[in-house]
Amino acid sequence: MLRPRVIACLDVQDGRVVKGTRFVELRDVGDPVELARRYEAEGADEIVFLDISASHEGRSTLLETVRRTAEVLFIPLTVGGGVRTEDDMNALLRAGADKVSVNSGAVRDPDVLTRGARLFGSQCVVASIDAKWSQEGPAGPGWYHHTHGGRTRTDLEAVAWAKECARRGAGEILLTSMDRDGVRTGYDLELTAAVADAVSVPVIASGGAGRAEHLRDGLTRGRADAVLLAGILHDGLTTVTELKEALAGWDIPVRLPDAAA
């Protein structure tokens, strides 16, 4: 039986993990390699690094961070942020990422998903969708996909865009609700379920996790294959172990750290 995944996400800037809400008010919370290892030990099923460095130096620092992480981490690592071409994907994969997530790059050039899937396999290609509700998008009221760390609204309706990304070769959708990100009131279940029902690739729910009930709801009512969390872990409010034990108590068949031994 496939186990629903609990994924720890680290926003990385210039080689350090930062956290505010993802889109504003950043502060340093630690070393990415150290945090990734800690979350593996706590039973996290995967790690995601989202690089939010703007500078060229920041990007080379990222490759170095990925390299150092891959040498000590023995669970899957997804890396995203600033990926535009198959060469960018290759550089991250060669540095030690197992999957690469693409956001703005896929809007500019959707075929990059297809080329990436052909070269590296679709299981390596993650389409990252930052969705925010808007009353007045071109397709009417709905969730619209945003690029550039959430700063730019596109005309792409999020559910249709998710389908398009999967059709073009993405093997997974990382779906972030910008409305919920950092708010800790739970995932946007309506958005998550709409995307999960529309695509035949796995969907990761992101944005809004505040406590174990939110993870449970994301996996059940949201029909997500995986749930992603960040802030509540970095702040030391809870641990992956605690969250997974709570999920197991609700009969959600997560992989428990003991079973990994």
Partner 1 sequence: MNPTRNGPQVALFDYGAGNLHSLAKGLEAGGARVTVTTDWFEALDAQALVLPGVGSFGAAVQALEGHETEVRDALLDGLPCLGICLGMQLFFPDSEEGEGSGIGLIQGRVRRLRARTVPQMGWNDVETGEDPLFRDLSHLTAYYANSFVCEPEEPETVVAHSQYEDQRFAAAVRRGRSWGVQFHPEKSSRAGLTLLRNFLAQVTP
> Is there a catalytic annotation at residue 251?
no
Site string for partner 1, 224-253 (x = CB under 8 A): -xx---------------------------
Residues 6+ apart with CB under 8 A from 221: 189, 193
Nearer to partner 1, 3 or 211 (CB): 3
Tokens of 71: 């040498």
Q: Three-state SS for 70?
A: helix
Q: Does residue number 260 form part of the binding site for partner 1 (CB under 8 A)? A: yes
Out of 45, 51, 88, 130, the active site residue is: 130
Nearer to partner 1, 71 or 136 (CB): 71
Q: Does residue number 4 form part of the binding site for partner 1 (CB under 8 A)? A: yes
Q: Does residue number 51 form part of the binding site for partner 1 (CB under 8 A)? A: no
Member of 12, 17, 97, 112 binding partner 1 (CB under 8 A): 97
Q: Does residue number 87 form part of the binding site for partner 1 (CB under 8 A)? A: no
Contact 187, 218 (CB under 8 A): yes
**Which of 229, 226, 258, 228 shows the shortest CA–CA distance to 241?**
258
Contact 91, 83 (CB under 8 A): no
Cα–Cα distance for residue pair 67/154, rounded to 1 Å: 33
Tokens of 259: 């079973």
Nearer to partner 1, 158 or 254 (CB): 254
Member of 14, 23, 114, 123 binding partner 1 (CB under 8 A): 123
> Is there a catalytic annotation at residue 45?
no
Which residue's structure tokens are 């641990």?
Answer: 239
Q: Does residue number 135 form part of the binding site for partner 1 (CB under 8 A)? A: no
Member of 10, 17, 40, 157 binding partner 1 (CB under 8 A): 40
Which residue's structure tokens are 């709409």?
Answer: 194
By CB under 8 A, the count of residues binding partner 1 is 42
Q: How far is CA 87 from the centre of its chain?
A: 21
Minimal distance, residue 201 CB to partner 1, in Å: 7
Q: How far is CA 146 from the centre of its chain?
A: 15
* Residues labelled as active-site residues: 11, 130
